[in-house]
Amino acid sequence: MSEKIWLDSYPAGMPAEIAATPFSSLADLVEDTIRQFGPMPAFHNLGHAISFAELGRLSRDFAAYLQGLSGITRGDRIAIMLPNLLQYPVVLFGILRAGLTVVNINPLYTARELVTQLKDSGAKAIVILENFANTPQKVLPDTSVTHVISTQIGDLLPAPKRQLINFVVKRAKKMVPAWRIDGALPLRKALKRGARTELRPVHIAHDDIAFLQYTGGTTSIAKGAILTHHNMLANLEQTNLWISQSFKQGSEIVIAPLPMYHIFCLTSTLAFMKWGSLTVLITNPRDMPAFIKELKRWKFSVMTGVNTLFNSLMNTPGFDKLDFSALKVVVGGGASVQKPVAERWQKHTGSFLTEAYGLTETSPGVCCTPLGTPWNGTIGLPVSSTEVSIRDDAFNPLPLWTGEGDIEKCTGEICVRGPQVMRGYWNNDEETQRAFQDGWLKTGDIGHMDDKGYVTITDRKKDMILVSGFNVYPNEIESVLMMHPGVAECAVIGVPDERSGEAVKLIIVRKDPALVKEDIISYCRAQFTGYKRPQYIDFREALPKTPIGKILRRALRDEDKKQ
């Protein structure tokens, strides 16, 4: 058996290592894709598509505009604060083609969160949607931002649809709070200026920074993961090897409901572009009826999402009427895919949910289940050119789980090595040193590897609950509770307890309005040993989530502390 034991479980023809990329940078990749698929549709949103050629022209114009701004030099950081609109890929590729660095920002950030990220990154310019402009208005004087480009939702739609949508959003629905930022330039004007300006060629090397991608990591303090062009190109190749085996150039339709400012959607979208695919950008996936209506328009072949999104989709009227006949690949990431969700998805769509695991710090892909694999509770195998090792608190490697003996002796922190692993954290040597040991990235995730090379995540290191000296992993409790027919969603956190140190608290969103605590207590008594059973059970209408739908246990813990 080889040291990289997972290689023996690879699908037939899957290489152990990725090939050297022919591209010098992401900008080089984008320009090659644009040349290859020029007239074909690239992105669709709000009923309109732009071709690869249009994407090339508009991103070129934006790149030229940026190069002409005072105080902007090669490698400077440019922030994007946009939801999934056609403007996003135009701005994204424009920044990269100009030889600059992208700083992705959640448009729903509060002023406190925004100013922290802008100050830390040292961003010189920011692109904002008018709907959220009142937040940067409050903080920009305290940052390095000297240039602001604003846009309205319909700005890249053809007339008169553009004017109509912008009027409805701003005047009829009043979705744009009053704002004023002196010197802010509308994106359409920026593009016109760029069209009259020469784009200067820029040499971009593999080691140049492509993204400062912010993450809370293993603490609640946002840190900027330094992702180079080499990191991203490597993970694009890894992604393509694992999930694009049946793709055909120019024929794939990709549904992208997750925000492009999130690393999962960002990388997968870039990977699918290589095939000349059409990506349908979903601006507001939380509006499930509208999402279902959009899906009805497409005979889509690829989709990415998270467990809560798939679960909500299947609980929305009209899901069973969708056309899944062309569906090839559905990738679940961002959080564990739960068995009831995976099995129900497969039953309704005829397509397996492919579970992928990664982190912002790894661009993001680390592990993936082989295509066509039924749910097995694992996150799959390390992808090509990637090493995974399970380590204890003293950083000693732990044995493989053979299915016998004490599984706790095989359970430790998941550590990763590979070309997709970040350089470090921006301006934070202390956190960088804490994250790495002997060349391995310590993920903060707890799990084990079996003797076939499959990795199972038990939980986040920080989410583990210690009850009277026994480890309790919220993922286990949540997965079992999701099998209860009366439960729509649930989350488990640890709360202080005088007798046991910590106790398990369960928060449930009901599917069955008649569900009561006694039902859950009885169910848990049959499913769990004593120390794992929830001591506290709450019901609520909804759970706090990240923009991609990952349940925020930290927010639940903070709420509990205030009670």
Lowest pLDDT segment from 3-7, 321-325, 381-385, 558-562: 558-562
CB 61 within 8 A of CB 94: yes
Q: Are strands 329-332 and 387-391 parallel, antiparallel or unpaired?
A: unpaired
CB 332 within 8 A of CB 305: yes
Where do runs of H (alpha helix) occur along 122-181?
A: 134-139, 161-167
DSSP 502-532: EEEEEEEEESSTT--HHHHHHHHHHHS-GGG
CB 241 within 8 A of CB 22: no
Q: What is the pLDDT of residues 446-472, one digit of tens each?
A: 999 999 999 999 877 778 888 876 778
Please tell me whether residues 270 and 128 are part of one structural domain.
Answer: no
Mapping DSSP to helix (H, G, I), strand (E, B) and coil, where does residue 495 land?
strand
CB 363 within 8 A of CB 227: yes
The model's confidence at residue 308, banded by pLDDT at 50, 70 and 90, is confident
DSSP 235-246: HHHHHHHHH-TT
Please tell me whether residues 193 and 280 are part of one structural domain.
Answer: no
Please tell me whether residues 400 and 260 are part of one structural domain.
Answer: yes
State which of 431, 460, 489 marks the end of a domain. 460
Q: Side chain identity at 274, as an amino acid letter?
A: K
- pLDDT at position 218: 35
CA 504 from chain centre, in angstroms, equals 28
- pLDDT at position 333: 87
- pLDDT at position 216: 58
- pLDDT at position 547: 80
Mapping DSSP to helix (H, G, I), strand (E, B) and coil, where does residue 224 land?
strand
Please tell me whether residues 452 and 474 are part of one structural domain.
Answer: no
Report the alpha-carbon distance of residue 475 to residue 349 in Å, rounded. 25
CATH number at residue 544: 3.30.300.30
Q: Count the domains in the chain.
A: 3
The model's confidence at residue 219, banded by pLDDT at 50, 70 and 90, is very low
- pLDDT at position 469: 66
CATH number at residue 80: 3.40.50.980
Assess if residue 9 is contained within a domain: no
State which of 204, 222, 246 marks the end of a domain. 204
Using DSSP, how many helices (H) and how many strands (E) does the chain show?
A: 16, 26
The percent of residues above 90 in pLDDT, for the chain, comes to 83
CATH number at residue 276: 3.40.50.12780
Lowest pLDDT segment from 31-40, 239-248, 267-276, 472-481: 472-481
Q: Give the predicted TM-score (pTM) of the model.
A: 0.87
Q: What is the pLDDT of residues 105-118, one digit of tens each?
A: 989 888 878 998 99
State which of 433, 460, 487 marks the end of a domain. 460
Whether pLDDT at 222 is above 50: yes
Q: Using the 8-state DSSP alphabet, how is residue 399 labeled?
A: P
The model's confidence at residue 140, banded by pLDDT at 50, 70 and 90, is very high
Q: What is the pLDDT of residues 493-536, one digit of tens each?
A: 999 887 778 899 999 999 999 999 999 999 999 888 888 999 99
What is the arithmetic mean of pLDDT over 278-285? 96
Question: Residue 286 is encoded by which pair of tokens?
Answer: 């939380």
Q: What is the pLDDT of residues 19-31, one digit of tens each?
A: 999 999 999 999 9
Give a three-class secondary structure readout of 354-383. Answer: EEEEECHHHCCEEEECCCCCCCCCCCEEEC
